[in-house]
Amino acid sequence: MDKIKFVYAFTEGDGKNKKLLGGKGANLCEMTQIGLNVPPGFTITTEACLGYLDAGHRPPAGLMQEVHQHMAQLEKVTGKGFGDVNNPLLVSVRSGSAISMPGMMDTILNLGLNSETLQGIIDQTGDERFAYDAYRRFVQLFGKVALGMPDELFDDPFDAIKKREGAKEDIALTAENLREITGLFLDAVHGHTGKPFPHDPIEQLEIAIQAVFNSWMGKRAVDYRREFNITPKMANGTAVNVCTMVFGNRGFDSATGVGFTRNPATGENIMFGEYLVNAQGEDVVAGIRTPKPIARMGEEMPSLYQQLGELRDKLESHYREVQDFEFTIERGQLYCLQTRNGKMNAHAMVRTSVEMTESGLIDKEEALLRIDPEVLQQMLFPQLDPNHQATPLAQGLSASPGAVCGRAVFDADRAEQMGKSGELVILVREETKPEDIHGFFASQGILTSRGGKTSHAAVVARGMGKPCVSGAEGIHVDTHARKATIGETVIKEGELLTIDGTSGNIYLGVVPTVEAEFPSDLKTLLSWADKMSRLKVMANADSPQDAIRALSYGAQGIGLCRTERMFNASDRLPIVLAMIVADTLEQRQDALDKLLPIQRKDFYDLFEVMSPHPVTIRLLDPPIHEFLPSEPQLISEIEHLRQLSSTTRGVDILADTIKLLSPSDVEGIPKINSLVDARTVDAAIEKKEAILKKLRSLHEVNPMLGHRGVRLGITFPEIYTMQIRAILEASAECTKNGIENHPEIMVPQVCTAEELKSVSKLVRSIQQQVEADIGRKLIFKFGSMLEVVRACMRADKLAEEADFFSFGTNDLTQATFSFSREDAENKFLPMYNEVKILRDNPFEVLDTNGVGKLMELAIKWGREVNPDMKIGICGEHGGHPASISFCHHIGLSYVSCSAPRVPIARLAAAHAALKESPAELEKSAK
C-alpha cells in the first residue's frame, strides 16, 4: 500500500482540494501555481490533523519526517537555514480548514527565533528593534497558542512598559524596551510552564503544528462550527500551513495590509482595504493600531499601489469571486500571503454577483448559487428614520450596515446572559477577539472603540449581517466598571444605545428606524431566479397593504388569505360579535348580511391589488370563541359595570335630592347625572352577560381539535355562504370593471371527502345564483387544505372534489407529532433540540421524514386522480430554504410564505432547481 502523503509544497498541492489542504492551503498552492508572489512554504493535510486527533493527540507515523524533508526543501529554496545563526529561516504556522472560520483557530509567527538566531537577524538587518519586536511577538504567540498561557501574562508587562515609557503606540517603543519586554515574556513562559522557552527551532515547529491541530477541537472552533452548522462532511480537521516569514515591519519601505477586491460593505467595484506601514499583519487584524485606507497607498507608495491593483485583478479574474487577501511588502517587494472568498453582507454579495454577471465574469447560475437565500433577510434591515432629530454622541467607522437599538453590555458572557433573557443588547468592547463569538451571537449590534473596518469585530459582524460600528475612538470602554465614557457622558450597563452601522454614528437612547428598501440589484437577481425555478412563490397576505408589499417582493399571487384576520378590524368586530352571540338563525343572518358588503369589498380590494395573479381565500378557520374576550376579562368587566350601575343610581338619587334641598336654585344645580345613565350601563351589562354565556357554551377542552374550520362551515353554513358569496360577487364586480382576477376558494381542516363535497355543493349553488344575477359564468378554483393526517391519507378521494390542495404544514406538523403548536416551542422543544432528540424545530424546518412522507403520499394519490392538480404549501415552512428544496423535489407547484420571506423563497426555489442540473449533480457527487 502506498504511504499516505501528509505534506504538500505550495508548488505541488492541488489548489482545488480544500477538503485535504484547507481553504487557505489550497489557495496558497493555487496562488503559487498561477504565478503570484507567495512566500515559499508547504501545507500539512487535514488528514494528518485527523490522524493526530484520532491517535490521542500523537502525530501520525511519518508526518514529522515529511515535515523535516520539506523544511530542508524550504531552506534550499530560500537559501536560509532553519536555526542557522548567520542566515536564519523564520516561518509562520497557520491553521486553515476547508470552510473559512475567521479567527477561530490559531497562528504562530516568526517561528525559528531563539537567542542565537535573533543575533543572526540583528546582524543581517542591522535593525535591533525589528529583531526584538519579531522575537517578542513570537514568544507571545507561542506562549498563548502552543503553551496555553493567558493573554494577561503578556499584556500586563507589555502595557506596564508602554505606560512607563509614555508610549501611546507600540511603534514608539525602542529596541531596548522591546528587549526588556522579550526578557519578561521569556520569564513569564518559564514561570508558567516551569521550563525554559524551547530553544530548538525543530522542537518549536513540532509543538506549533500540534497546537494548531489541537485548536480544531478548541472551544471557539467547536462553538463556531455548531453555530454555523459546519458538519464534518463540510470541513473535517484543520490543515497547517508553514510559510516563510516576510516582514512588513522592516522599515518605512515595508508595510502590511488586508484588501478586498471590492468593497465588502457596499459591493462597489473598487479595491477596499487597509494597511499599515512598518507593521506586521496581526497589527491590522487585531485592531491594535488604526490602519490607513488603502487608497492612501496611491500617494505613499505609488508603484506598489499599482502592483497591488494588478494583484487584485489577477485574483478576481482567476477566482471569479470577491477575494479577501492579505499582503505584505518587505523592503519594496509585494507578497500575497493569503486569499479567500470575501465574506460580505447581503447587499454587497448581491451587487457584486449581479455586476460580475453583467460584466461576463460569471454566469447567472453561478450568481444565484453563490448567495445563501437566508442572507437576503439582511437586506430588509431597518435603517435610521431619515426624519430623526437625534444628535450622535460619537462616531466610529461604518463597519457593517443597518441600524439597531439595544442595551449596552460590556462583555460577551453578559451579552449572552441578557440576550437569552430576551433583551436586545449591543456588545460594546474596546476591541473584540474570537473568544467573544458567543457575545456576537447574542447581540443585535457591535460597537468597538478600536480597530478598523477589517478588524475582528467588523469582519465577524459583517459575516453575520449584524450592524457594527468599529474604531469609535471617542469612547473609553471600562469593562471592569461596566461602563463607557464619551466626553462627559457615561453609559452604564443596561442603558439604551442606538448604533448605525451604515454611517458609523452612535446615539444615546432609542432612535426610530425604518424598513429598508428593496434594491434594484436584488430585483435583477431575483428575476433571474424566477426564470430558473419550477416552484412559484406566493405570499400569505390578508390585507391590501400586505399584498402590495408581497407584490413588491415579487410574490406571484396570494397562497393564503386568512379571512379571520379580516374579522378582527375594529369596524367589523361588533358585527362579528353579534353573529357569534346570536341565539337564532335570523339574528345570525342579520349580522352576516351586514358583513357581506364589508367582506365583498375586502376581496374586491385584494383582487384588484393582486390582478392578474391568483388569490387563495381560506374560509373561516379558527374556533369562533377566539373572537370573544377571555372569561376572566369578561367577569371582571361585568363586575366593574355592576359597580358603575350602583354608583349611577346613587348619582340619580343625589340629583333628585339636591332639588329638594335647594328648590329655589334648581337651575344652578350641575347636571351631575348627565355623564352616564343607568339604562346604558344596564344594557352594557346585559350584552356582556350574553357574551359570557355564549363563551361558556362554546367552551372546548381542545379547541384546536374542536369546532373549527370546515366543521364550523358545515354546522353554520350561513357563515360560509356569506363568505363564498362575497368572494364570487367581488370577482364578478372586478371582472365587470375590467380587473382580471383568479379567486381560489380554500376549505380548512378538511378530513373527509364528504366535508369537501358538502362545501362544494354550497359553492355550486351560490355560483348558480350569482351567475344568474350577472348573466355570466364565473371562473374560479375550489380546493382543500391538507392539514390533518386523514386528509393526506384520503387525498385521492379529496382530489375528486378539489381543483387544488394546499398543505397547511403548521397544523399538519402539530397533527403528525401530536405536539401542540401553541405550547411545544416554549416547553419541551428547545430541550429536545439541545439533546438532539430532534435536530430541528419541526414548526420551523419541515420534518421531511414524517410530515414530508405524508405529503409525498398525498401528492402521489391526489395526482393519480387529477394529474394536473395544483398543489402548494402555505404553512410557515413555505419560507424556509431547506423546506422549499424539499417541496421542489416532491413536485409541489408553489410555496406560499409571509411577505418578507418571499425574496428568500424565490432564491431558494431557484437553488432547488439549479442544484438538480446535471452539472450541479455531478459537482455534488464528487
**Which residue ranges make up the site for ligand PEP (CB under 6 A)?**
560, 562, 621, 787, 808-811, 874-875
What number of other Cβ atoms are within 10 A of residue 302's Cβ?
Answer: 10
User: Residue 809: which of ligand PEP, Mg ion, none does it interact with, CB under 5 to 8 A by kind?
Assistant: ligand PEP
User: Residue 726: which of Mg ion, ligand PEP, none does it interact with, CB under 5 to 8 A by kind?
Assistant: none
**What three-state secondary structure class fits 537?**
strand
For residue 666, the surrounding DSSP H or E stretch is: none
Closest distance of CB 622 from ligand PEP, Å:
8
Closest distance of CB 597 from ligand PEP, Å:
25
Nearer to ligand PEP, 210 or 809 (CB): 809
Nearer to ligand PEP, 106 or 621 (CB): 621
Closest distance of CB 577 from ligand PEP, Å:
21
Nearer to Mg ion, 247 or 805 (CB): 805
Catalytic residue flag (residue 456): yes
DSSP 60-112: PTTHHHHHHHHHHHHHHHHT-BTT-SSSB--EEEEEE-SS--TTSS-EEEEET
User: Residue 562: which of ligand PEP, Mg ion, none does it interact with, CB under 5 to 8 A by kind?
Assistant: ligand PEP
User: Residue 96: which of ligand PEP, Mg ion, none does it interact with, CB under 5 to 8 A by kind?
Assistant: none
Closest distance of CB 477 from ligand PEP, Å:
46
Closest distance of CB 746 from Mg ion, Å:
11
Catalytic residue flag (residue 874): yes
Nearer to ligand PEP, 249 or 809 (CB): 809
Nearer to Mg ion, 501 or 808 (CB): 808
Strand order of the sheet with strand 483-486?
475-478, 483-486, 489-492
- Pair 313, 287: CB distance under 8 Å: no
Separation of alpha carbons 732 and 741, rounded Å: 9
Tell me the three cell numbers of residue 15.
Answer: 489548489
Nearer to Mg ion, 215 or 806 (CB): 806
Separation of alpha carbons 734 and 741, rounded Å: 7
Q: Long-range contacts: 686-691, Cβ < 8 Å, 24+?
A: 688/634, 688/637, 688/638, 688/641, 689/638, 690/581, 691/577, 691/581, 691/628, 691/629, 691/634
Closest distance of CB 523 from Mg ion, Å:
32
Tell me the three cell numbers of residue 669.
Answer: 344645580
Nearer to ligand PEP, 432 or 749 (CB): 749
* Residue 360, phi then psi, degrees to nearest 5: 85, 5
Closest distance of CB 449 from ligand PEP, Å:
46
Angle at 551 (CA atoms; ends 546, 553), nearest 5 degrees: 100
User: Residue 874: which of Mg ion, ligand PEP, none does it interact with, CB under 5 to 8 A by kind?
Assistant: ligand PEP
Closest distance of CB 874 from ligand PEP, Å:
5
Separation of alpha carbons 237 and 228, rounded Å: 16
Contacting residues for 206 by C-beta, under 8 A, at least 6 apart = 59, 64, 67
Alpha carbon dihedral 477, 478, 482, 485, in 10-degree steps, equals -50
Separation of alpha carbons 921 and 926, rounded Å: 9
- Pair 204, 198: CB distance under 8 Å: yes
Nearer to Mg ion, 409 or 617 (CB): 617
Separation of alpha carbons 506 and 390, rounded Å: 10
User: Residue 533: which of ligand PEP, Mg ion, none does it interact with, CB under 5 to 8 A by kind?
Assistant: none
Nearer to Mg ion, 419 or 808 (CB): 808
Identify the burial level of 97 via C-beta atoms within 10 angstroms of its C-beta, where 0-12 means exposed, 13-18 middle and 19 or more buried. buried
- Pair 270, 353: CB distance under 8 Å: no
Pick from 371, 347, 323, 370: nearest CA to 266: 347
Parallel/antiparallel/unpaired status of strands 41-44 and 7-9: antiparallel
User: Residue 875: which of ligand PEP, Mg ion, none does it interact with, CB under 5 to 8 A by kind?
Assistant: ligand PEP
Closest distance of CB 655 from ligand PEP, Å:
53
Nearer to ligand PEP, 469 or 620 (CB): 620
Closest distance of CB 806 from ligand PEP, Å:
8
Closest distance of CB 290 from Mg ion, Å:
55
- Pair 116, 197: CB distance under 8 Å: no
User: Residue 560: which of Mg ion, ligand PEP, none does it interact with, CB under 5 to 8 A by kind?
Assistant: ligand PEP
Q: Residue 113: CA atoms inside 13 Å, Cβ hemisphere, count?
A: 25
Interface residue list for Mg ion (CB under 5 A) = 787, 808, 811
User: Residue 15: which of ligand PEP, Mg ion, none does it interact with, CB under 5 to 8 A by kind?
Assistant: none
Q: Long-range contacts: 704-709, Cβ < 8 Å, 24+?
A: 704/623, 704/814, 704/820, 704/821, 704/822, 706/623, 707/623, 707/624, 708/621, 708/622, 708/623, 708/748, 708/749, 709/621, 709/747, 709/748, 709/749, 709/750
Closest distance of CB 716 from Mg ion, Å:
19
Separation of alpha carbons 624 and 709, rounded Å: 10
Tell me the three cell numbers of residue 659.
Answer: 332639588
- Pair 874, 811: CB distance under 8 Å: no
List C-alpha distances in Å: 192 to 158, 186, 921. 17, 10, 54
- Candidate list 243, 336, 751, 874, residue with the active-site label: 874
DSSP 217-269: TSHHHHHHHHHTT--TTT--S-EEEEEE---S-SSTT-EEEEEESS-TTT--S
Separation of alpha carbons 390 and 411, rounded Å: 27
Nearer to ligand PEP, 704 or 857 (CB): 704
Nearer to Mg ion, 283 or 787 (CB): 787
Give the end-to-end CA distance of the chain in Å, rounded to a whole number. 24
User: Residue 51: which of Mg ion, ligand PEP, none does it interact with, CB under 5 to 8 A by kind?
Assistant: none
Nearer to ligand PEP, 862 or 879 (CB): 879
Pick from 7, 65, 17: nearest CA to 41: 7
- Candidate list 70, 347, 438, 456, residue with the active-site label: 456
Closest distance of CB 703 from ligand PEP, Å:
12
Residues belonging to the active site: 456, 874
